[in-house]
Amino acid sequence: LSEKLCPKCNGTGWVQEKKGEKEYVHKCDCQSLNILLSRSERANIPSLFAGAELKGYVPEKENPSQKKAKKIIRNFIEQYPAVDKGFLLQGPTGVGKTRLLCAIATELMKKDDKIDIYYVDWNDLVREMRTGEGHSTRDFSGINNWINKLTDVEVLLFDELAASKISQWVADYIYYLINKRYNDKKLTIFATNFYDKGTDGRETLSGRIGERLRSRLYEMAQVLEIRGVDFRQKNM
């Protein structure tokens, strides 16, 4: 994207405009977009969703849960920083949870140009932690730096919560991270495919992450259930 010259300003970042006799020069729109994209990159936002806005999340027809989620998130962004809880987005694959997480990031970055925000995927975090498990000689500075970043950041977007099974060692590490954020009153927004009630023999969220962590999440995040369109209903 950045290698292609902006057609409005030919890559100069400035646009000339004539109003009657006078000529004006103003900053091109592509400049704020470039800034937003580089902030998204630093926030570790997946490039597919860099700069994704909330208006780009279009609820399916006859899907009140998606409409409701969007409305609540819009209010949250308006209220920020006067908010005291994050969210736990629960729903199946394909309902746009990652897009919503990244849209929250974009909207908060547009609202506050100093905001410190970071996206992490459970799978990446767990993979990194596992490489250290059982290897007492490993240099932990890399993972420790990462954990420090995740505990310190002002707003953390934690995607794919509970996506893979974890050992007690990794579970303790993740509990430490989330509990530290809770104690420090930091906002965390989670997304997961797992529910509190197991249906069709599926494991529950607390079955995956443990009661202790699940009850911590209750205190720091409001549940937003996002349903897909029910297949049978759609075909009736």
Q: What are the CB-based long-range contacts (under 8 Å, 24+) for 146-151?
A: 147/173, 147/177, 149/118, 150/118, 150/120, 150/125, 150/177, 151/177, 151/180, 151/181, 151/184, 151/186
Q: Which is nearer to Zn ion, 28 or 187 (CB)?
A: 28
- The 11-50 contact track toward Zn ion, x by CB under 5 A, reads -----------------x-x--------------------
* 144: Cβ contacts below 8 Å, ≥ 6 apart: none
Q: Does 6 bind Zn ion (CB under 5 A)?
A: yes
Please report whether residue 162 would count as binding Zn ion according to CB under 5 A.
no
Q: Indicate the residue among 18 and 135 with the shorter CB distance to Zn ion.
A: 18
2 versus 145: smaller Cβ distance to Zn ion: 2
CB of 4 to Zn ion, least distance (A): 11
Task: Decide: 191 and 103 in contact? Cβ < 8 Å.
Answer: no
β-strands 155-161, 187-192: how paired?
parallel
143: contact with Zn ion by CB under 5 A: no
CB of 51 to Zn ion, least distance (A): 15
Inter-CA distances, 218 with 10, 178, 205, Å: 51, 12, 12
**From 3-11, 54-62, 68-76, 101-109, span contacting Zn ion (CB under 5 A):** 3-11
Binding footprint of Zn ion on the chain (CB under 5 A): 6, 8-9, 28, 30
